[in-house]
């Protein structure tokens, strides 16, 4: 199994993250990628530099005007009078609370403040000078890993950072700018008719859900912490099943605060069964390690061995698989869970 990662992904180095009414140092930082390359490297997985596939795989998922905003926002924003060090929104449009929240078109405003509030959903996506380059490289990492599998490899690992599953067609949020898992799934669709995304990050992948909500060719199956008092708050409920042609092709299994290894592995088992019943020909795994009890964001009681158990269940599907890195903010938990998962996945994957 090849591991893909680009050092350009370290160029996103924000200093501000708004949470509980304070601006603090971001939990999503370059140290996470370093921990992953170190610990996965010890398994014998050397990082391969992704090829540059240009904007095509990104534009297959994201709106062109959103991509252009991300490319130009830092220069335009920091030219404002008395600008802060990073792009941060301070106004937001009213968004109708539809389950899909698909592409919303271009904002009518042309000013940088209005566009920032339109395209950046919350205070976890401060943009620095290197953010676009890092997000672009993270997307290329996903595309390269998916092309490896579309070309015949049995599995690949996309060490994506910044992560992706909260990014919408035209909105950054939850530390995410480009939806790497969606990009990987769309690349896999060039070879496979039915692709599934299985997401076990502890946050609901609301961006991924929205991107594929009306589509029957990509199943999105997620287990995550009950969003009624947890990020992303507005989506991730069990009754969100897809719409139009995509009705029945979205599955959410929310977990109550305090859920343990048994509940977590059982929920992943439910997702695995759904992927098999769907008849998926290829799989994208949105792999976050933040359900781990040691994670600063976790509300669950999941321990390291659970990641070995779910790896065996997922590997048992026997599908061509792209593992895409999402969240995980305790470096200690990441250093245990990610290599254990990877080792057990590779051992059980046929």
Long-range CB contacts (< 8 A, 24+ apart) of 116-119? Answer: 116/73, 116/77, 116/87, 116/88, 116/89, 116/90, 116/91, 117/89, 117/90, 117/91, 117/92, 117/93, 118/92, 118/93, 118/171, 119/66, 119/69, 119/70, 119/73, 119/170, 119/171, 119/172
Q: Under the criterion CB under 5 A, does residue 288 sit at the interface with Zn ion?
A: yes
What x/- string results for residues 83 through 102 when contact with Zn ion is judged by CB under 5 A? --------------------
Give 48 or 166: the residue with its C-beta nearer to Zn ion. 166
Q: Under the criterion CB under 5 A, does residue 295 sit at the interface with Zn ion?
A: no
Q: Which two tokens stand for residue 100?
A: 């899909």
Size of the site for Zn ion (CB under 5 A): 5
| Count of alpha carbons within 13 angstroms of residue 265, beta-carbon side | 16
Among 28, 199, 240, 290, binds Zn ion (CB under 5 A): 290
Shortest distance in whole angstroms from residue 146 CB to Zn ion: 21
- Choices 18-26, 83-91, 190-198, 319-327 (CB under 5 A): range interacting with Zn ion: 319-327
**Going by C-beta distance under 8 Å and a sequence separation of 6 or more, which residues neighbour residue 74?**
86, 87, 127, 128, 129, 131, 132
Q: Which of 122, 46, 63 is nearest to 90 (CA)?
A: 122
Give 19 or 113: the residue with its C-beta nearer to Zn ion. 19
Q: Under the criterion CB under 5 A, does residue 203 sit at the interface with Zn ion?
A: yes
Pair 290, 306: CB distance under 8 Å? no
Shortest distance in whole angstroms from residue 162 CB to Zn ion: 12
Give 189 or 224: the residue with its C-beta nearer to Zn ion. 224
CA torsion angle 278 207 292 25 (round to 10): 170
- Choices 119-127, 135-143, 232-240, 325-333 (CB under 5 A): range interacting with Zn ion: 325-333
Shortest distance in whole angstroms from residue 203 CB to Zn ion: 4
- Choices 11-19, 202-210, 237-245, 312-320 (CB under 5 A): range interacting with Zn ion: 202-210
- Choices 42-50, 86-94, 194-202, 271-279 (CB under 5 A): range interacting with Zn ion: 194-202
Shortest distance in whole angstroms from residue 52 CB to Zn ion: 28
Q: What is the DSSP string of 66-118?
A: HHHHHHHHHHHHTTSTT--SSB-----------SS-------S--SHHHHHHH
Measured distance between the N- and C-terminal CA atoms of the chain, rounded to whole angstroms:
12
- Choices 46-54, 109-117, 119-127, 289-297 (CB under 5 A): range interacting with Zn ion: 289-297
Q: Under the criterion CB under 5 A, does residue 166 sit at the interface with Zn ion?
A: no
Give 116 or 304: the residue with its C-beta nearer to Zn ion. 304
Give 21 or 296: the residue with its C-beta nearer to Zn ion. 296
Could you give the CA distance from residue 144 to residue 135 in angstroms, rounded to a whole number? 14
Could you give the CA distance from residue 330 to residue 243 in angstroms, rounded to a whole number? 36
Give 78 or 303: the residue with its C-beta nearer to Zn ion. 303
Shortest distance in whole angstroms from residue 232 CB to Zn ion: 9
Q: Which two tokens stand for residue 118?
A: 């339109």
Residues forming beta bridges with residue 2, ordered by sequence position:
156
12 is catalytic: no
Residue of 166, 203, 292, 349 with catalytic role: 166
Report the interface residues with Zn ion, using CB under 5 A: 201, 203, 288, 290, 327
């Amino acid at each position: 199994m090849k591991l893909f990662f680009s050092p350009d992904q370290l160029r996103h180095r924000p200093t501000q993250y708004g949470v509980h009414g304070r601006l603090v140092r971001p939990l999503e930082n370059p140290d996470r990628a370093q921990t992953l390359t170190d610990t996965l490297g010890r398994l014998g997985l050397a990082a391969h530099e992704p090829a540059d596939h240009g904007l095509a795989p990104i534009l297959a998922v994201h709106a062109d005007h959103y991509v252009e905003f991300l490319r130009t926002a830092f220069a335009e924003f920091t030219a404002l009078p008395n600008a802060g060090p990073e792009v941060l929104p301070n106004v937001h449009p009213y968004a109708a609370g539809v389950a899909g929240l698909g592409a919303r078109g271009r904002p009518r405003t042309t000013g940088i403040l209005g566009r920032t509030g339109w395209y950046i959903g919350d205070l976890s996506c401060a943009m620095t000078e290197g953010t676009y380059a890092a997000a672009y490289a993270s997307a290329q990492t996903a595309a390269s890993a998916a092309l490896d599998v579309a070309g015949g490899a049995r599995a690949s690992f996309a060490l994506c950072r910044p992560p992706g599953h909260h990014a919408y067609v035209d909105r950054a949020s939850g530390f995410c700018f480009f939806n790497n898992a969606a990009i990987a799934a769309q690349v896999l669709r060039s070879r496979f008719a039915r692709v599934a995304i299985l997401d076990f990050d502890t946050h609901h992948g609301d961006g991924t859900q929205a991107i594929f909500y009306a589509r029957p060719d990509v199943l999105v199956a997620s287990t995550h912490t009950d969003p009624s008092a947890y990020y992303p708050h507005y989506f991730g409920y069990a009754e969100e099943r897809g719409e139009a042609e995509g009705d029945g092709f979205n599955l959410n299994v929310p977990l109550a605060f305090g859920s343990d290894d048994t509940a977590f592995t059982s929920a992943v088992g439910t997702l695995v069964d759904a992927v098999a019943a769907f008849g998926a020909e290829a799989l994208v795994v949105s792999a976050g390690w933040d359900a781990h009890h040691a994670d600063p964001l976790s509300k669950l009681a999941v321990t390291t061995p659970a990641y070995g158990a779910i790896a065996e269940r997922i590997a048992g599907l026997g599908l061509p698989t792209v593992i895409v890195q999402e969240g995980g903010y305790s470096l200690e938990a990441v250093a245990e869970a990610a290599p254990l998962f990877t080792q057990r996945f590779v051992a059980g994957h046929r």
